[in-house]
Structure 1
Amino acid sequence: MRTCPVLANVRPMNSSTATTVFLPIALGVIMLGLGLSLTVGDFGRVLAYPRAAAVALGCQILVLPALCLGLVLLFDLEPALAVGMMLLAASPGGTTANLFSHLARGDVALNITLTAINSVLAVVTMPVIVNLALDGFMKGEDAIGLQPAKLLQVFAIVLVPVAVGMVVRRRNPELADRLNRPVRIASVVVLVTVIAVAVYQERANVLGYLQAAGLVALILCVLSLAIGYVAPRAARVPRGQAVAASFEIGVHNSTLAITIALSPALLNSTEMAIPPAVYGILSFLPAGLLAYAMSRRQDEQVEIRT
């Protein structure tokens, strides 16, 4: 693959305190918030939505990495950016998907279930997909694939905060309910602050990053949202569940992808963090527009019935 001429003129992202310390903290708070909203029964809830869950998980694990690979090859991305895109595609749905699904009148309970299951599966699927991407685009350098020590790092990043939140909910549901809202607000505040600081520090390179990975990230988001809705509907999944699947598949946990890319114990690559960072900013536009459009359409259908 050729070197991206835009990226060649841009400095790599700085591994600042904001990204190497506070970003993992933000991710931990986000995953803790997810755990506070979960019970063991949520994992079994997939049995209540077998068709919707099967289609959504199939799209998340199989279709999206294949779609992302096609986009990476089509746009001939620079190797580090290509791996960053594959890391993003392999990331589970973000908890923000629950908010968009709620705004679009989707089945938020299904969102929570899919996010929980995807987060568990990601402990295995993310290292495998990223290792294959590293082997294909960068000759296997710094592969995180099946190395036990690094797999343990991914496990800790993804599942430990969720498990802590679930333990709190199981032992003290009232405390979990009281903490749920403050933790969600704190996660948003910390994440927005970290992104704002990182963007400010990289203000001279933001345009270059957008040019290097913006179009591919935006296309991936739009196609993911579309596939997430069309595939379940084609499988005769009810509208509310299809809406939930759309946002679960289309809104990735970019915070997790950035953390794994920047972590010295994992990929330790600022270049690989560029695609998920750009995606994390751009994805709000198509996801927000889709949520608004779906909400308006649902309102119009309700008015017609009445």
Structure 2
Amino acid sequence: MDSALTTVALPVALAIIMFGLGLSLTVGDFRRIGQSPRAVVIALAAQVLVLPAVCFGLVTLVDLDPLLAVGMMLLAASPGGTTANLFSHLFRGDVALNITLTAVNSVLAVVTLPVVVNLALAHFDPADADDVGLQLGKTLQVFAIVLVPVAIGMVVRRSSPAFADRADKPVRIASAVVLALVIAGALLAERENLADYLADIGVVAVVFCAISLTLGYVLPRVLGVEPQQALASAFEVGIHNSTLAIAVAISVLDSEALAVPAAVYGVLMFPLALAAGFLLRRLHHEPGHRVPART
């Protein structure tokens, strides 16, 4: 991939997205854990513990190429993002819960993402990735690209709420455009192998996305979480921050191939999330399913 895209465009793109996330966050979003502890804990457990295990089982079952398997694990370890919040808003999920989950899991990812990626590298041992790994220095890079822009956004919101509110829509639009460009760039970088990669990873990405959305909804419902919060959980668990996964793969781990699963997933997750949203909303409106009033 062109060095300018790797060294400049990708970090800037991710910074815009994470800054936009920070503009929507307050300290109260972290405090909200105490108000809905069951929903938060269940969704975080699904994201941090269950999802990587499910992904590992899936890529092992289909005997995926080791490098693509590590890329899938990187994706599974990536937190949700603003796209999950938008889908939750569209289908009337508990957006406040989404914001809280995104905030908390973005912080946790600084630890969990390097752990999952290094374990995956050790297990799958890709032949052409001898120098790939998230040692301390690279882990600090993950910390910088994830948390620093979020923290700046939160500071801006705290010091100037009016500006944060005005900037929210333009930054969201910019984030959507940036996401599309990042995905296109990652796929373009591997264009010579793209047909083979799509054949290898397309079905796996679809199945993983479907499992993630289903798990994110069913697990909370089984454990007594109300439908509106379970809907929010479904999008948070099922829609990953593909830009973060791509940026870590290319800018931190210096591997375009590792970014392919996240790029493919980033394209496929939109129609699947829309289908899940319509299906779950219909389920909520069936007799016996009451949608709680929004507050």
**Normalising by the residue count of structure 1, what TM-score does the alignment of the two structures yield?**
0.88
CA contact (8 A) 2:187 2:260 kept: no
Secondary structure (helix, strand or coil) at the match of 1:255 reads helix
- 2:269 maps to which of 283, 288, 301: 283
Task: For residue 293 of structure 1, report the CA deviation from its aligned partner.
Answer: 2.3
What amino acid sits opposite 2:277 in the alignment? A
Q: What residue is the counterpart of 1:271 in the other structure?
A: 257
For normalisation by structure 2, the TM-score amounts to 0.91
CA contact under 8 A between 2:21 and 2:153: conserved in structure 1?
Answer: yes
Counterpart for residue 170 of structure 2: 182
Which residue is 2:76 aligned to?
Answer: 89
SS in 2 for 1:252: coil
Q: Is the 8 A contact 1:130 1:143 kept in 2?
A: no
Indicate the residue corresponding to 1:170 in structure 2: 158
Which deviations, in whole Å up to 9, do the C-alpha atoms of 1:174-226 show, x marking residues without a partner?
11111111111111122223434554565554332211211111111100100
**Aligned partner of 2:152: which letter?**
V
Give the match for residue 57 of structure 2.
70
The answer to whether the 8 Å contact 1:105/1:298 transfers is no
Determine the C-alpha separation between the residues in 2 that align with 1:99 and 1:66: 27
Sort the Cα spacing of 1:184 and 1:281 in 2 relative to 1 into closer, same or farther, 3 A.
same
> Map of 1:104-183 to 2, 5 A cutoff?
104-138=91-125, 141-142=130-131, 144-145=133-134, 147-183=135-171
Q: How far did 1:30 drift?
A: 0.8
Once superposed, what is the RMSD of the aligned Cα atoms? 2.2
Change (3 A) 1:19 1:278: farther
SS of the residue aligned with 2:257? coil
Q: Displacement of 1:237 after TM fit?
A: 0.2
- In structure 2, the gaps of 5 or more residues are none
Contact 2:190 2:256 in 1 (8 A): no
Q: Please state how far the C-alpha of 1:19 moved relative to its aligned partner.
A: 5.1
Q: 1:22 to 1:60 in 2, by over 3 A?
A: same
Residues 202, 85 of structure 1: alpha-carbon distance in 2 compared, 3 angstrom cutoff:
closer
Whether the aligned pair in 2 keeps the contact of 1:105 and 1:294 (CA below 8 Å) is no
Superposition deviation, residue 94 in structure 1? 2.1
- Following superposition, the deviation at residue 15 of structure 1 comes to 4.6
In 2: Cα distance, 1:198 partner to 1:269 partner: 10
Moved more, 207-216 or 136-145: 136-145
Query: For this pair of structures, how many residues does the alignment match?
Result: 289
Asked if the contact 1:18/1:198 (under 8 Å) is kept, the reply is no
Residues 20 and 259 in structure 1, CA contact (< 8 A), matched pair in contact too: no
State the alpha-carbon separation in 2 of the partners of residues 192 and 83 from structure 1.
Answer: 23
CA distance in 2, matches of 1:304, 1:62: 30
Deviation at 1:23, TM superposition (A): 2.6
Match of 1:99 in 2: 86
Residue by residue, what CA displacement relative to the aligned partner does 1:57-86 show, whole Å, maximum 9, x if unpaired?
111111011100001110111111111011
Structure 1 unaligned residues grouped into runs of 5+: 1-13
Which residue matches 1:51? 38
Structure 1 residues 302 and 100, CA gap change in structure 2 (3 angstroms)? farther
Q: Which segment drifts farther, 232-241 or 98-107?
A: 98-107
Q: Aligned equivalents of 1:303 and 1:148: distance in 2?
A: 49
Structure 1, residues 132-171: CA drift from partner, whole Å, max 9, x if none?
11111117933534x3211110001100110000000111
Q: For 1:259, which of 247, 250, 255 is the aligned residue?
A: 247
The question of 1:191 aligning with 2:179 is answered yes
Tell me, in whole angstroms, the C-alpha distance in 2 between the residues paired with 1:274 and 1:205.
10
Q: What is the CA–CA distance in structure 1 between the aligned matches of 2:267 and 2:3, rounded to whole Å?
A: 19
